[in-house]
Structure 1
Amino acid sequence: MTGNSDLHADDIGQVVGVSHHDGSIEGINFGKDSVDINISSSYGEKNTVCLVGVRYFIANGLREGNVVDRMYLWDAEKAPDSIMKRVMQALSIDLPNVMQERASKNSKIFLMECSYGAEIFSVLHHGIQLKGPGSVSDEP
């Protein structure tokens, strides 16, 4: 795969279109308003999940060997209340700011759940993209 492709979520918010289940996080890179999460699938395919338009980001409990379980993406206005509460706690965002993000038509909530209780949360204004195989390393 060359270039970037937008990733989408199914009806319950699970991200589809990238092999990530039972994969591992190989690195996280920060840009001006973006975050790249480098992951390897359980069969060795390397991908980069690019969070675009990042307003808030936190990675809790990550350690070597974390296994990626699920990734979710919701429009903030449609995210389950339980998720919005977790976002508020994880990111230390007060209720007025959460309500402002939720009311914004372009705000999205990203969640990556990993083994050992680790998780990545982000509030973003654009979406997520996938950089395909080979994007984590230039080695063959």
Structure 2
Amino acid sequence: MKFLKPTLATVGVLAVAGALTAFGSPDVTQPRVQDSVTTTFVNLYLDQQRLLGDDQVTADSMAPSTTCDRHNGAVAPVGPGTDWICMITWNDATGTSQEGKFEVQVHSNSCWTASGPAKIVGSFTITDAQGNEVTNPVNAFDGCFDPSS
């Protein structure tokens, strides 16, 4: 029986395939986290504003943007971890630009949990337009993203 000698390219392809099988594909990426955090934050901020009696704020008027990284850029921005930080900027109900630092825990199931700066987004509860104490939707919130998008 004659054995074929594998080429270097074949060995390389098999090594990459083996690594992807062993460790899974990089589902948690910076763009996926940023897009998901931005979308979720905008929707919840609009909910907060409606609770406060302001329905004039729109996603467009907020002009949101988000930048996320891990360990202030010291770790590659991929993979799950409790060390993600997302800086979200947006225009508030008065049109004033705001910036908040959100601590984000990204889980291996493509979901995450974020907590925001109470000085900017409010405490755990807020008083709604009717005078009721309600949960503040943007103080701490969860979301998920499509790992194949």
* Greater RCO, CA 8 A, separation 6+: 1
TM-score tier by shorter-chain length is under 0.3
Larger radius of gyration: 2
TM-score of the two chains, using structure 1 as the length reference: 0.27
TM-score of the two chains, using structure 2 as the length reference: 0.26
Structure ranking higher in helix proportion: 2
